[in-house]
Chains A and B, each alone.
Chain A
């Protein structure tokens, strides 16, 4: 579906963010991309959705392909119209527009595809949005705003959704609800997804494949079941602790606290 091969990305030709980064999203699967703050996760998504150029980011080498076609030079709006939809970090809903107008804005992704915007489908996934369809989107709660952000993506009838931190700033119960919907969209609509998350436990519940990104490089990759067995993942992402007895982080020597993937 989406293949990213060996890309180097920098901002302002000065700050290198991704170094030889590669990733593949398989058809019909959810691929999780995990990593700490500043690892470059969001940059990966921006590189794929074409937004990098707007922030003075540059892809120096490598290749990004959607269904075997290079999309390095494709403009963001054409990518959306080709079925690649980016749900951005921090939801980025249009706060001064009504919920329905937010969805109407998303219907521009259907331009040239001879498809009709199916508002009802979005409201079936998120009945709460229907109740508030005439309200200003800025007045929605955080969870509802995330629902709207995902609802906009559904309305665009995508092949691939790039989902950036849907759990950001939400209560655990809402996170569960959102991830349940993510799973349903993947299964019922057959939409492939690239999911960027900090909340590894939540991401592991829905994803098929996983990549761990650190300082712009992939340090680990594999199926979710493999990753769950990995000791380092258990320590750093799932909070399980290497040994039952040395459970407090304070007891670990400082030079051991640093994440070390290569030992």
Chain B
């Protein structure tokens, strides 16, 4: 039973990360009717920006030392005598990393937002009014543009970045069995959930949310009612890119930073299709199902199956419900 809980927890944590990535694809699709195949690579750029601002920049000569390693007196006093791998040592290490983590997050969020604005203005806006297929194919092309420029700007080597939260092992008893977690994963999980929830609340309860939902439902009518639809499009891309920046930072700190991060984001597209392209709730459920399925397949059949079984489930679900779990069937309006 404890074993089951262990994998259930692992799965949920992965699922939350999928949901955070999927949120970007859904928000772009809902307002612009474009499926962004390049979202994974936008996330990869977020990860590289995080690397730039959290690792490269603090190491630069002109930066004061405390940015790279912040060690005020009270921290040294707190750290004294802490055992290796103890929570105390991990927290102390995290606090001394905190300036560069914050710098990295802020920098990657801002840079990714700019990247989104550039993509939207340069590639999407001129295609407005054309069939959305041309925009979708344009995002496919963007994959290689982004991947290529990432390895040009940075290198294709695998690098390490600091985790967003203190990283120490947590062990506790559940149903008589040992359960084991990394605290960094818990922090990532909480960040992903909070971001997801915050977006939902904004969408549901604010006036801007009304404009976005109106645009999602009927672009031209929203436009004719005074809503600046192109601005809504831009903000959808910005929302996707900024949540993607956070997801990228989390992914890079967990799996290491490399250009293959983009492909991971691409695989989340399957999650989005399973949940329904236009449903945040559906996508959340799908992300959790896939995350948990992956964890359980890994446990029962081993790692090589973990990459297949959940996606077979995606295919089955799409056969059963072509628009995804909670997706809306396209109503053709005349």
Contacts and interface: CB of A to CB of B under 8 A. Distances in A.
B29 to A, nearest CB: 15
B229 to A, nearest CB: 7
Nearest to B214: A105
8 contacts: A51-B223, A51-B224, A77-B226, A81-B226, A96-B217, A101-B214, A104-B207, A110-B226
Contact of B214 (A85, A94, A156): A94
Interface residues of B, number: 22
A106 B225 contact: yes
Contact of B226 (A92, A96, A156): A156
Contacts, number: 83
Contacts of A111: 226
B213 A96 contact: yes
Interface string A188-228: 00000000000000000000000000000000000000000
B84 to A, nearest CB: 55
Contacts of A152: 225
Contacts of B226: 77, 80-81, 106, 108-111, 156
Nearest to A106: B225
Interface string A103-129: 011111111000000000000000000
Given A101-B210, A156-B226, 12 more contacts: A54-B128, A54-B220, A77-B225, A85-B225, A94-B222, A96-B213, A97-B217, A101-B213, A104-B210, A105-B211, A106-B226, A108-B226
Contacts of B219: 54
B214 A97 contact: yes
B222 A105 contact: yes
A107 B226 CA distance: 8
Contact of B225 (A53, A97, A108): A108
Given A54-B129, A108-B211, A92 B221 contact: yes
A92 B218 CA distance: 8
A56 interface: yes
Given A49-B224, A53-B129, A105-B225, A90 B334 contact: yes
A92 B225 CA distance: 11
Interface string B53-71: 0000000000000000000
A77 B213 contact: no
Nearest to A53: B129
Interface string A72-84: 0001110111000
A76 B217 contact: no
- From DSSP, what is the main secondary structure of chain A's interface residues? helix
A109 B227 CA distance: 7
B225 A90 contact: no
B217 A94 contact: yes
A159 interface: no
A76 B223 contact: yes
Interface centre among A53, A77, A85, A110 (most CB of B within 10 A): A77
Interface string B236-269: 0000000000000000000000000000000000
Contacts of B229: 76-77
B149 interface: no
A86 interface: yes
Nearest to A97: B213
Contacts of B214: 94, 97, 101-102, 105
Contacts of A80: 224-226
B300 interface: no
B276 to A, nearest CB: 13
A53 B220 CA distance: 10
Contacts of B227: 77, 105, 108
Nearest to B231: A77
B54 to A, nearest CB: 39
A236 to B, nearest CB: 25
B197 to A, nearest CB: 20
A88 interface: yes
B236 to A, nearest CB: 16
A53 B226 CA distance: 16
A95 interface: yes
Contacts of B225: 77, 80, 85, 105-106, 108-109, 152, 156
Interface in B147-198: none
A88 B207 CA distance: 23
Interface in A220-252: none
Contacts of B220: 51, 54-55, 76, 88
A49 B222 CA distance: 12
A95 B207 CA distance: 17
Contact of B210 (A51, A79, A81, A105): A105
B178 to A, nearest CB: 47
B200 to A, nearest CB: 15
